[in-house]
Amino acid sequence: DGGITQSPKYLFRKEGQNVTLSCEQNLNHDAMYWYRQDPGQGLRLIYYSQIVNDFQKGDIAEGYSVSREKKESFPLTVTSAQKNPTAFYLCASSTRMGNGYTFGSGTRLTVV
Amino acid sequence: KQEVTQIPAALSVPEGENLVLNCSFTDSAIYNLQWFRQDPGKGLTSLLLIQSSQREQTSGRLNASLDKSSGRSTLYIAASQPGDSATYLCAVTDSGNTPLVFGKGTRLSVIA
């Protein structure tokens, strides 16, 4: 079955650590996205990529980094510069024209 | 900058009622509008997509309408069931290759 896989489901980060969230899709979608969800805040865009080896900052990119070396993969690194990383992170993909949006099941990141 | 607002933030209804969820957006030059459902701690599931040239879309007990000129959409749920309890999110994109902008969602509870 085609879909998006996010891992891990839960992640704990110590102060000062970088952590990487995985996102893999087998839908042959060109575009991939990372959103952050906080209680009562809706979804806010972190980064997006419309093609391999290219990506753009979203509204809240500070403290995050991404790469897009393969069409299927769009990992997100939460760096130590992100001061409040505790949140629910959602990865999505779509066709290049913005159709067929499909979301992963999310990663819940907690700072300990 | 596009902004999406959803009213009400939360809604509780008895089983069997018909209900309407509202979504408004500030820039009427949209490419499409989508409604999603999110269960607690889960990813998003696409419910309905309305292209800018369309006025409504229907899927089972769900009907979504779009009035682009006034910047509004409604999601109508007929004969509500406890299984409809979830958060419903509205999102728009300004063009085929820009990411979705989300509202904060409406949290629906259907009481048996």
pLDDT in tens, A26-47: 999 999 999 999 987 889 999 9
Q: CA-to-CA distance for B95 and A7, rounded, in angstroms?
A: 30
Per-residue pLDDT, A100: 83
Alpha helices in A37-83 (DSSP H): none
Over the stretch B1-59, which tens digit does the pLDDT of each residue have? 899 999 999 999 999 999 999 999 999 999 999 999 999 999 999 999 999 999 999 99
Residue A49 · residue A37 · CB < 8 Å: no
Which of B52, B93, B97, B106 has the most A C-beta neighbours within 10 Å, making it the best mutation to test the interface with A? B97
Bridging pattern class, strands A107-111 and A10-13: parallel
| Res. B98 pLDDT band, cuts 50 70 90 | confident
Paired tokens of A11: 């992640």
Q: Flag whether residue B50 sits within 8 Å of chain A, measured between CB atoms.
A: no
Look up residue B97 and give its DSSP letter. Answer: T
Checking if the pLDDT of A98 tops 80, the result is no
Per-residue pLDDT, B26: 96
Q: CA-to-CA distance for A39 and A82, rounded, in angstroms?
A: 18
Nearest-by-Cβ selection for B43 from A31, A33, A103: A103
Checking if the pLDDT of A1 tops 70, the result is no
Closest CA–CA distance from residue B78 to any residue of chain A (Å) = 25
